[in-house]
Amino acid sequence: MRKYLLIGASAFVLGAGSMAYVSQAAIASAQPKTQTYKTLQLFGDVVDIVERQYVTEVDDKKLIEAAIDGMLTSLDPHSGYLNPDSFDDMRDQTRGEYGGLGIEVTSEDGVVKVISPMDDTPAFKAGVKAGDFITAVNGESVLGLSVNEAVKQMRGKPGELVTLTIAREKTDPFDVKIVREVIKPRSATAKMEGDYGYLRVSAFNEKTTDEAEAALADLRAKNPKMKGLILDLRNNPGGLLDQAVGISDLFLDGGEVVSQRGRDPRDIERYNARTGDAAGGLSMVVLINSGSASAAEIVAGALQDRKRAELVGLTSFGKGSVQTVIPLHGGIDGALKLTTARYYTPSGRSIQKTGIEPDLEVAETRDEAQRIANRAFQFSEASFRNALNAEEGKKRIGAHEPAEAPPTDFDTKTGDFQLARAKDVLRYGSVAATPKLPKPAPKMAAVVAPRSPSVEPPATKK
């Protein structure tokens, strides 16, 4: 069964058919296949040379698995090969339970980068942040490893201590000690924020829609005078497409949620909401930031396009592609995680690389506002060299002064400024009606290249 994520050997399918004659077009089409066969022979020759002449003995299986993964990751940052162990780990994660640290990671130029720590997990409590680089695990360098290999080192038996070496902008590399736990993050929780309901969705696994629906129903039952609802998708790295549709369906009374389009532009698959609104038509605000990716962007885009909610926060990550997990020989030989489509919001926009822009732009802290103005380092889909291209003519917003940031008398250590502004929008009825704060005036400093994450690790590292 295929799973769609937002989130063996190469198979070359050669079409077979009967022909009464050989045309020039057929000859031309055969030429690329002949080149493919020659290249595969070259690959075999390289493997043979490595087996016979490399300085130490090599594991043929690992060698070929690495080659397959390299082929797939060269396509885009989100495609890859999952060996049987990694495939099992992925299934555990989408089921919502596994032994690990609670970090969503990706790879850029051979460096493991944190997309987001999951709420209330060991990594979250230890202070790991979105955009951090993980350069070593337990003193062993992970530079150059695939994401799957790095994740395998971080996962394992609960109760064991794991030491991550972190490289972070404007700091020297440092170690973080984290104890593995059975990760059973509740992907949806709810509470009251004054007169308003607050629903936090931190990921999209197989339990997300059910958890969100139950949490929201319980909250409304206990607070019948609730005046509005805030849906918090900040630092949500995404997950299963059907769960993104399910969460959107909770708040949309029918109509389109999202569509996906593959290589053939005529190949369009649409996903629609059912009738009924679990929030009972309450006014809504959705919180997003640059850590809101993939499935989270589907929800935000659907609610924004359908005029069901207004968005507060920062431009989202910009991952507008769908990955299909294709088991190989029933999963015995692992699986391919392959980008097979782009997704489009109900109005027909692709947000690949560009992200979803909020209706009210609000930086979480004054330092964050300064970074956005300087554009010294902004982690997003556009940061990847081999990311799928955005729609022609579209670009992610560049360096600029955010519309709003916390005033100097706002304590960001104890308060959540983006949440406060979301409540203001609900209080005044809309973004347009909400009084705007004075625009922050960060110093437009010269752009400084971030510290390279691939610096030579300490001598104790492998």
- 3-state class (DSSP) for residue 284: strand
Q: Name the nearest CA neighbour of 163 among 210, 130, 212, 122.
A: 122
Pairing mode, strands 196-201 and 310-313: unpaired
Residue closest to 240 by CA, chosen among 271, 266, 217, 218: 271
Q: Is 294 a catalytic residue?
A: yes
Helix (H, G, I), strand (E, B) or coil at 24: helix
Q: Which amino acid is at 448?
A: V
* Residue 165 · residue 134 · CB < 8 Å: yes
* Nearest residue to 242 (alpha-carbon basis) of 7, 80, 79: 7
Return d(Cα 135, Cα 331) in angstroms, integer. 30
Is 305 tagged catalytic? yes
DSSP 161-180: EEEEEEE-TTS--EEEEEE-
311 DSSP β-pair partners: 286
The distance of Cα 10 from the centroid of its chain, to the nearest Å, equals 26
- Give the C-alpha separation, 354 to 395, whole Å: 6
Report the candidate in 184, 246, 185 with the shortest Cα–Cα distance to residue 216: 246
Annotated catalytic residue within 89, 119, 305, 424: 305
**Which of 294, 316, 380, 383 is the catalytic position?**
294
The Cα 390–Cα 318 span in angstroms is 9
Instruction: Give residue for tokens 């300490």.
Output: 458
Instruction: Name the helix (H) or strand (E) containing 312.
Output: strand 310-313
Known catalytic membership, residue 86: no
What are the φ/ψ torsions at residue 305 (nearest 5 degrees)?
-65, -35
Q: Of 3, 207, 319, 353, which is the active-site residue?
A: 319
Q: Please state, in angstroms and rounded to a whole number, the distance separating the CA atoms of residues 133 and 143.
A: 10
Q: How far apart are the first and last CA of the chain?
A: 39
Buried b (16+ CB within 10 A) or exposed e, 52-80: eeeeeeeeeeeeebbbbbeebbeebbbbb
Known catalytic residues are: 294, 305, 319
